[in-house]
Amino acid sequence: MKDRDDANVVELTVRRPRRFRYPGNGYREAMSEKLRLTIAYEEPDDAGWIVARVIEVPGALSQGRTRKEARENVIDALRLMLSPDDDDASVAAGRIERLDLILSG
């Protein structure tokens, strides 16, 4: 069973480029590291809603009727916030670098 501190943590694995030379094929890149993000929960309000937020990512917040639901919803909010905006000029022009983010926890 997870202790209370682990229940408030979301691990985000970030895979970033690292250059490797492949004969005839140019460079190939790969790298991986983990970030630990913390979810903070507020006490239920008068209507029973629990607000959850990711402390390290301002604006990543949501709510739920239970702590579990609030946690699931704030992780969905985090995914949405970290998704590329297709209307961004850099994305549209292809001037981007992709990072694979894997949420666990």
Would you state the pLDDT for residue 54? 94
Would you state the pLDDT for residue 2? 43
Would you state the pLDDT for residue 61? 95
Tell me the C-alpha distance between 104 and 43, whole Å. Answer: 24
Would you state the pLDDT for residue 42? 96
Domains in the chain, CATH or no CATH each: 4-84+99-104 (3.30.160)
pTM above 0.85, yes or no: no
Confidence of residue 85 (pLDDT cuts 50, 70, 90): confident
- Give the model confidence (pLDDT) of 21-77 as tens digits: 555 555 555 666 777 889 999 999 999 999 999 999 999 999 999 999 999 999 999
